[in-house]
Amino acid sequence: MTAPTTDILAIGNAIVDVIAHAEDDFLVAESIHKGAMNLIDEPRADHLYAAMGPATIISGGSAANTAVGAAMLGARTRFIGKVKTDETGRIFTHDIRAVGVAFDTAPATDGPATARSFIFVTPDGERTMNTYLGACQNLTSADIDEATVAACGITYLEGYLWDPPAAKEAFVKAATVAHAAGRRVALTLSDSFCVDRYRAEFLGLMRRRLVDIVFANESELHALYQTADFATAVAAFQADDVLGVCTRSEKGSIVVTRGGVLEAKAFPIERIADTTGAGDLFAAGFLTGLARGESHKACAMLGAMAAAEIIQHVGARPETNLKDMATQAGLF
């Protein structure tokens, strides 16, 4: 097997985030499920944009955030996702390339606009996403170049990609090509509501060995195995024999393998400003560690550090030099 020319290939929804602070009463009045990713149509997107307060516009998208974080940690990264040839699409393309992520998916020239996610951050730092998928729904298996996938050490797929129907084929094609080339495939479960929608399919991906590494938080893990007991969920995770990673907020994280369960601490923070992107950046750190050949404990610590950076400011893209942070923390 030849050495990979790219460390991490992330495939997901190409989205620009529109972020504003909001009170819980606003979410109630708008019938928005707090803490979830709610799929919306274009009229609803226009309504929420008109109703929200002053907003910050930052390129986002779960897997794209992971690719950016990994690139900032020094990994060679690439992203596959669909935008349209509109102003929002040009912003997304500029931002992801500016940090060194290779992005050359052909944009759509017609059809829906580039995706936007309207994110409301409540006083407790919790983020609630309302996502108009737009052009993301145009991502198909034709956008998956087999040679590109085969040259990547780890292909990372976001669970949200399961929402646009055509993207499922792209997801499975990428995983199949990666395994044929002897590479690893990672999946993030993305959101407990996403798990509720696709539980059987996600479990099928794991049990058919289409994915090797699975990222989840506590609520997603509970949803996946339909149990309120964490120990029971962890035992089921272990039985499915993947490299399982579960983040637990201030309780740190666990890494689950057939051989046992490893615990890692959370990285110290001064304040929580916005939890948007915490899981994405944890995955960025963990996958970068894997690409570097680090131990699972070291990978988890690197993920915790990247997540700690992102939750201390608004937006899901790092504002601090992550390589410097890792060096200062003794992780590099």
Per-residue pLDDT tens for 134-161?
999 899 999 999 999 999 999 999 999 8
pLDDT number for residue 130: 95
Q: Based on the number of CB atoms within 10 Å of its own CB, is 192 exposed (0-12), middle (13-18) or buried (19 or more)? A: buried
List pLDDT tens digits, range 4-55. 999 999 999 999 999 999 999 999 999 999 988 889 999 999 999 999 999 9
Whether the CB-CB separation of 275 and 311 falls below 8 Å is answered with: yes
CA atoms within 13 A on the CB side of 186: 30
Helices vs strands, H then E, count in the chain: 12, 13
Q: Based on the number of CB atoms within 10 Å of its own CB, is 307 exposed (0-12), middle (13-18) or buried (19 or more)? A: buried
Closest CA to 201 of 174, 171, 241, 232: 171
Q: Which residue has the tokens 């989205």?
A: 15
* Residue type present at position 26: F
Q: Rounded CA gap, 81 and 140, in Å?
A: 10
Q: Rounded CA gap, 43 and 210, in Å?
A: 37
CATH superfamily of 6-12+62-111+135-328: Ribokinase (3.40.1190.20)
Asked whether residue 70 carries a pLDDT value surpassing 80, the answer given is yes
Asked whether residue 1 carries a pLDDT value surpassing 80, the answer given is no
List pLDDT tens digits, range 230-271. 999 999 999 999 999 999 999 999 999 999 999 999 999 999
Whether the CB-CB separation of 216 and 256 falls below 8 Å is answered with: no
